[in-house]
């Protein structure tokens, strides 16, 4: 049994009574009089001892689901896609478990059990973290609204297991076979798409919404400004724009594609499309159609079936295997940190720098020069 008197928030002058008795918790705001709050607390203690206070009576504290749905309607500066993810995660993973529980009935052990159950189901650490985010924000808001004494989700951590990245890139030779076949499939219709993916490492969502205004043919670079996720045009994954250098072949291929699109638009009597990889109607590229074309080209090339995203991995691994600067590769991929690049691709370049390690056996030229007054052996 516990009855506590606390000023909440500290320094506010507002005094509360918090009751924790036989697994039931209640809280009540008394006002600005500390003496009155302590007097009421003593009377409550006496009633609890005599069994004259029934804490099972329901008050107006809402359930987690009711409060979360109200919280989701509040104005915020979060991206629309973030809010959609919050709603989806709450609906799929949270409401079925704690949705009907009252806010003041939730305990830290309940939050830990929920997160552990998600990990046991096989969800990744990042996914569980994404599910945890809206729960934490809802409970923090409820605490600020003085519906609960503390946030039971606060500071709960889940053990991160180092992610094993699923990477299946093509080799240099395999990309040649794929591109040769792409030139033949549908008279080369998807050749520019596949070439762009292999020569820039852009994500499929970034390729879908690439616009002609994003390409500087004179300086040969593409400025990646946006992405495409779940049917919506969004910002880039790390929320930063980046410039990607184009190879001469890619630049010329895209120039030719622009000419083809202009002729097609003029013939059909419609405006020139803004999308670089627009379909024949001038609409945004269909990811499903691109994937189908890629699979057919792979099959015709007698290559294994890979995902569109593996074209991005192919760009990265080929560059690193050729000894290109990892920092530039990381930047052009749009990774938020070079450590991500190393985590994903380091094991694809075993022994690449063996010759550099071998040089350690040879003294540096500066070390062979005699130093005045230092004729003794360097090992003394």
Per residue of the chain (380 residues), what is the pLDDT tens digit?
578 778 777 777 788 777 776 666 777 676 777 787 788 778 777 777 766 666 655 567 899 999 999 999 998 888 888 899 999 999 999 999 999 999 988 988 999 999 999 988 888 888 899 999 999 999 999 988 878 878 899 888 877 655 566 788 999 999 999 999 999 999 999 999 999 999 999 999 999 999 999 999 999 999 999 998 888 888 887 778 999 999 999 999 999 999 999 999 999 888 999 999 999 889 999 999 999 999 999 999 999 999 999 999 999 999 988 888 888 999 999 988 888 888 888 776 655 555 555 666 666 666 555 455 544 433 33
Q: In sequence order, what are the residues at sequence separation of 6 or more whose Cβ sits closer than 8 angstroms to the Cβ of residue 76?
A: 83
pLDDT tens by residue, 153-179: 988 887 765 556 678 899 999 999 999
Instruction: Look up residue 9 and give its two tokens.
Output: 């928030």
- Whether residue 9 is preceded by a cis peptide bond, meaning omega within 30 degrees of 0, is yes
Closest Cα to residue 152, out of 93, 214, 110?
110
Domain residue spans of the chain: 2-50, 64-144, 172-348
CATH fold, domain 172-348, is hpI Integrase; Chain A (1.10.443)
Whole-number percent of the chain with pLDDT over 70? 85
**Which CATH number is 64-144's, of 3.30.460.80, 1.10.150.130, 1.10.10.10, 3.40.50.10680?**
1.10.150.130
Q: How far apart are CA 287 and CA 205, in angstroms?
A: 8
The model carries a pTM of: 0.59
pLDDT tens by residue, 193-215: 999 999 999 999 999 999 999 99
Q: How far apart are CA 258 and CA 243, in angstroms?
A: 20
Closest Cα to residue 303, out of 159, 178, 165?
178
Q: How far apart are CA 249 and CA 198, in angstroms?
A: 12
Q: How far apart are CA 18 and CA 4, in angstroms?
A: 5
Question: Does 172-348 match 64-144 at the fold level?
Answer: no
């Amino acid at each position: 049994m516990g009855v506590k008197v606390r000023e909440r928030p500290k320094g506010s002058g507002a005094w509360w009574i918090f009751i924790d008795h036989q697994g039931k918790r209640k809280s009540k705001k008394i006002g600005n009089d500390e003496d009155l709050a302590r007097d009421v607390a003593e009377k409550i203690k006496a009633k609890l001892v005599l069994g004259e206070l029934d804490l099972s009576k329901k008050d107006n504290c809402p359930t987690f689901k009711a409060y979360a749905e109200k919280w989701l309607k509040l104005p915020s500066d979060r991206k629309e896609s973030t809010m959609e993810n919050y709603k989806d995660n709450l609906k799929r993973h949270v409401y079925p478990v704690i949705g009907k529980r009252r806010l003041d009935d939730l305990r830290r052990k309940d939050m830990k059990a929920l997160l552990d159950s998600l990990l046991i189901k096989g969800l990744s650490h990042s996914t569980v973290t994404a599910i945890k985010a809206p729960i934490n924000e809802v409970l923090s808001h409820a605490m600020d609204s003085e519906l609960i004494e503390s946030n039971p989700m606060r500071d709960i951590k889940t053990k991160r297991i180092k992610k094993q990245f699923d990477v299946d890139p093509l080799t240099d030779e395999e990309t040649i076979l794929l591109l040769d076949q792409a030139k033949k499939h549908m008279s080369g219709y998807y050749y520019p798409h596949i070439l762009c993916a292999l020569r820039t490492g852009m994500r499929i969502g970034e390729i879908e919404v690439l616009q002609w205004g994003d390409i500087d043919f004179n300086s040969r670079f593409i400025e990646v400004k946006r992405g495409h996720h779940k049917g919506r045009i969004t910002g880039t994954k790390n929320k930063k724009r980046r410039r990607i250098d184009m190879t001469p072949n890619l630049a010329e291929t895209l120039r030719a594609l622009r000419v083809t699109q202009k002729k097609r638009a003029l013939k059909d009597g419609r405006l020139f499309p803004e999308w670089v990889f627009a379909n024949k109607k001038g609409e945004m590229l269909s990811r499903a159609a691109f994937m189908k074309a890629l699979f057919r080209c792979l099959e015709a090339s007698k290559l294994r079936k890979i995902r569109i995203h593996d074209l991005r991995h192919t760009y990265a691994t080929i560059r690193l295997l050729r000894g290109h600067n990892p920092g530039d590769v990381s930047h052009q991929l749009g990774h938020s940190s070079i450590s991500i690049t190393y985590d994903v691709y380091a094991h694809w370049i075993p022994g690449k720098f063996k010759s550099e390690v071998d040089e350690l056996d040879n003294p540096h030229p500066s070390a062979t020069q005699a130093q005045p007054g230092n004729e003794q052996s360097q090992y003394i």
